[in-house]
C-alpha cells in the first residue's frame, strides 16, 4: 500500500491482541524515526523500546479522554511501547521533531500490520522514574503498539470533535471537511 493510502486508512487503535510484535518490525519503526526530519538537523530525540516492562509504561498513560471506558482492559493492552525522549542539552524544543518521528513510527508500523496510539497525556514524573530517564531529558510522546482488536472509522464532523463508540464497539472519529480547512491563495476569498 502506498503512503497516501496508509495515511487515509490509519486510525488510532486502543484495543490490542495479545500477540507479540517481531523485533524486526520494531527496529524498522525506530529506524524510520531516526531518519525523520529534524530542525537544524540537531537530532535531539532518543527512544526507549519497551516490550517487557509493559506495566511500567501503561500505569503512566491516560487513554481516550472523550470515552467513559476508553482505557484498554488488561487483555487488550499494547504489547510494545516506543517512548520518545529528547535531550534538553541538544534542543530546548523538540516538539516538531517528535511529531515527525511519531508519524514515521506509526506509518511504518501500520504498513507492517501493526496498529498504534500516540499518547501525550503521560504522568511524566512517574514514567521518568519507572524507566530511569535522566533529568536532562524530556519525555515527548509514548507510542503504544500492537495488532489491532478494534475498528475505527472516519466520521463527518458536525461541530463536535469528540469521538464515540457505537453499540458494536466501532470507534467513530469526526474529521473536518477539506473545504472547511483549506484556503486557496489567501485566507479570505
Ligand X SMILES: Cc1cc2nc3c(=O)[nH]c(=O)nc-3n(C[C@H](O)[C@H](O)[C@H](O)COP(=O)(O)O)c2cc1C
Work out which of 37, 113, 120, 169 binds ligand X, going by CB under 6 A.
120
Q: What DSSP string describes 102-113? A: HHHHHHHHHHTT
Q: Are 75 and 18 a contacting pair, CB within 8 Å?
A: yes
Nearer to ligand X, 27 or 154 (CB): 154
Shortest separation between residue 157's beta carbon and ligand X, angstroms: 11
Q: Where are the alpha helices (DSSP H) in the chain?
A: 3-9, 23-34, 54-58, 95-111, 124-130, 178-181
DSSP state of 16: B
State the helix-helix crossing angle for 23-34 and 95-111, rounded to 10 degrees.
Answer: 140
Work out which of 30, 39, 165, 173 binds ligand X, going by CB under 6 A.
173
Work out which of 22, 23, 62, 126 binds ligand X, going by CB under 6 A.
62
Q: Is 169 in the site for ligand X (CB under 6 A)?
A: no
Query: What is the CB neighbour count within 10 angstroms for residue 25?
Result: 18
Nearer to ligand X, 107 or 173 (CB): 173
Q: Is 113 in the site for ligand X (CB under 6 A)?
A: no
Q: Are 105 and 82 a contacting pair, CB within 8 Å?
A: yes
| String of contacts with ligand X for each residue 4-43, x by CB under 6 A | -------xx-x-----------------------------
DSSP state of 73: P
* Binding residue count for ligand X, defined by CB under 6 A: 14
Residues that bind ligand X (CB under 6 A): 11-12, 14, 62-64, 117-121, 152, 163, 173
Amino acid at each position: 500500500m502506498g503512503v497516501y493510502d496508509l495515511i487515509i486508512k490509519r486510525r488510532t487503535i486502543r484495543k490490542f491482541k495479545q500477540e507479540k510484535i517481531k523485533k524486526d518490525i520494531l527496529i524498522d519503526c525506530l529506524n524510520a524515526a531516526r531518519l525523520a526530519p529534524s530542525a537544524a538537523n540537531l537530532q535531539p530525540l532518543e527512544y526507549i523500546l519497551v516490550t517487557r516492562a509493559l506495566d511500567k509504561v501503561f500505569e503512566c498513560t491516560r487513554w481516550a479522554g472523550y470515552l467513559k471506558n476508553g482505557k484498554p482492559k488488561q487483555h487488550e493492552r499494547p504489547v510494545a511501547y516506543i517512548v520518545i525522549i529528547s535531550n534538553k542539552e541538544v534542543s530546548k524544543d523538540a516538539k516538531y521533531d517528535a511529531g515527525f518521528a511519531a508519524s514515521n513510527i506509526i506509518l511504518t508500523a501500520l504498513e507492517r500490520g501493526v496498529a498504534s496510539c500516540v499518547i501525550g497525556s503521560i504522568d511524566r514524573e512517574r514514567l521518568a522514574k519507572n524507566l530511569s530517564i535522566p533529568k536532562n531529558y524530556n519525555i515527548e510522546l509514548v507510542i503504544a503498539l500492537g495488532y489491532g482488536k478494534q475498528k475505527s472509522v472516519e466520521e463527518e464532523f458536525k461541530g463536535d470533535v469528540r469521538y464515540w463508540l457505537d453499540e458494536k464497539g466501532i470507534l467513530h472519529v469526526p474529521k473536518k471537511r477539506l473545504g472547511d480547512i483549506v484556503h486557496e491563495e489567501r485566507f479570505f476569498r
